[in-house]
Amino acid sequence: MKATTPSPSGSVLIEGLRKSYDRAVKKGSAYAIDGVSFEIPQGSLVTLLGPSGCGKTTTLRCVAGLEQATEGRITMGGKVVFDSAGGRIVRTEDRPIAMVPQSYGIWPHMTVLDNAAFPLRHGRHRMPRRDARTRTLEVLEQVGLAGMADRWATQLSGGQQQRLALARALLGDPEVLLLDEPLSNLDAKLRVRLRHELREFQQRFGITALFVTHDQTEALTMSDTVVVMNSGVVEQIGTPEEVYDFPRTAFVADFIGSANLVPVELASQDTAGDVLASTAVGTLHCGRRTAGSTGTQGEGGFVFVRPENVEVRRLEATDDPGDCDFTAVVESAEFLGDRLEVVVGAAEVRITAFARSGSGVRPGDRVGVRLDPASTSYLAS
């Protein structure tokens, strides 16, 4: 990400953003975000994903101009809207953005139509009242609220309010749409439906969007790019597939999906370049390369494998474990309908695997465990 890259209209470039909420920034001050950089290409949806308190909202509010970053630079559509070095600060209302806050920000004393039409009556895209009404009704139709224009906003359900907030944001004709956990207050079913609808709107209108969530499924299903944050810093940036299949750090592996992380004592490389990791359960073969992973040998780190890439096989007392990596004892086997989630233990190591529902694996069983080397990687610490 070069500072000189010309940004096409609608793209956003965030460089070296730091924010301290302390009024006087002293040496050793804690930063809510500390050196956050990423890019949102025009027309794409980038998600900030991370645990509570990692700095997602702070980043979003800095992009919106609702918070002033302590350091860094923000460029929108080729125009610098914030630069701590150059002392440049463009006000929120002059940035080409619309924001859907977590609480939706719906005005209860207005009708649905008046809420949605607000940007056309007061914003940068002000238009005559009659035209505003026509245009607003069009967009309300697109979000499935056509028949509700004259209701009070308080008479809408949570999901309908979310769509109203989205309609209002779209009517502001933003180059960049900022969404802070917009689906988190909805029930599970509605959340899934609106997740698809939101993505569909974003793609249909070709909107550049920054979406904040702590829900990994939301991030994986909706995004072009996921920015995984932890304690104010970016841990990894990648497509949903990249961050799921090729996490670069134990934090990313653990935060997204379920992960087995086996502590490594010593890691070395074989002639083919695969990592052989010696662990408490023996040497494990890590055949998957994680691009950008720091180092492939040394002490410490973790073997990382997802439960779906672990095979467990029941062994009778006299059975030979054959090509298994190690033997273990089943601690729990939970029926999930289509499969069993099995937790096995061996030498202080606990591994989760999925087994077929009919495989008959039970707590107390002795099992052979095999990690698929092609889906197993070494994460250096």
> Rule CB under 6 A: is residue 55 a binding residue for ligand ATP?
yes
**58: contact with Mg ion by CB under 5 A:** no
179 touching ligand ATP, by CB under 6 A: no
Which of 315, 79, 108, 33 has its CA nearest to residue 176? 79
Quote the least distance from Cβ 192 to ligand ATP, whole Å: 20
Residues that bind ligand ATP (rule: CB under 6 A) add up to a total of 11
158-171 vs 129-142: helix crossing angle, rounded to 10: 130
> Nearest approach, Cβ of 234 to Mg ion (angstroms)?
16
Q: Tell which one of 9, 21, 154, 269 touches ligand ATP (CB under 6 A).
A: 21
Question: 181 vs 325, which CB is nearer to ligand ATP?
Answer: 181
* Site for Mg ion contains 213 (CB under 5 A): no
- Give the full edge-to-edge strand order of the sheet including 339-346: 310-314, 366-371, 326-335, 339-346, 349-356
Candidates 56-64, 113-121, 330-338, 369-377 — which segment interacts with ligand ATP by CB under 6 A?
56-64
Q: How far is the C-alpha of 357 from the C-alpha of 341, rounded, in Å?
A: 9
Print the binding letters for residues 195-234 with ligand ATP: x by CB under 6 A, - otherwise: -------------------x--------------------
Q: Pick from ligand ATP, Mg ion, none: which does 147 bind, CB < 5 to 8 A by kind? A: none
Nearer CB in complex with ligand ATP: 218/274: 218
Question: Which one of Mg ion, ligand ATP, none interacts with residue 53, CB within 5 to 8 A by kind?
Answer: ligand ATP
Q: Which of 1, 3, 9, 53 binds ligand ATP (CB under 6 A)?
A: 53
Report if residue 54 touches ligand ATP, rule: CB under 6 A.
yes
Of 350, 251, 256, 347, nearest to 301 by C-alpha is: 251
Q: In angstroms, what is the minimal distance from the CB of 89 to ligand ATP? A: 18
- The stretch among 47-55, 186-194, 282-290, 332-340 that binds ligand ATP (CB under 6 A) is 47-55
From first CA to last CA, the distance across the chain in angstroms is 25
Distance in angstroms (rounded) separating the CA atoms of residues 361 and 373: 23
Decide which of ligand ATP, Mg ion, none touches 58; Cβ closer than 5 to 8 Å per partner kind.
Answer: ligand ATP
Among 18, 56, 288, 306, binds ligand ATP (CB under 6 A): 56
Phi and psi angles of residue 245, each rounded to the nearest 5 degrees, phi first: -85, -30
Q: Which residue has the tokens 């500072």?
A: 3
Answer for which of 11, 44, 47, 57 binds Mg ion (CB under 5 A) is: 57
Q: Which of 115, 111, 170, 107 is nearest to 139 (CA)?
A: 170
Q: Scanning the structure block, which residue is given the tokens 């005005």?
A: 107
Given its phi and psi angles, is residue 298 left (phi above 0), alpha (psi -120 to 50 degrees) or beta?
A: left
Given a contact cutoff of 8 angstroms between Cβ atoms, the answer to whether 76 and 57 are in contact is no
Closest by Cα among 217, 300, 218 to 261: 300
Which of 7, 11, 47, 58 lies at the binding interface for ligand ATP (CB under 6 A)?
58
Q: Give the separation between CA 31 and CA 348, rounded to whole angstroms.
A: 37
Q: Nearer to Mg ion by C-beta: 48 or 310?
A: 48
- Give the C-alpha separation, 291 to 309, whole Å: 19
Tell the smallest beta-carbon distance from residue 274 to ligand ATP (Å).
37
Binding site for Mg ion (CB under 5 A): 57
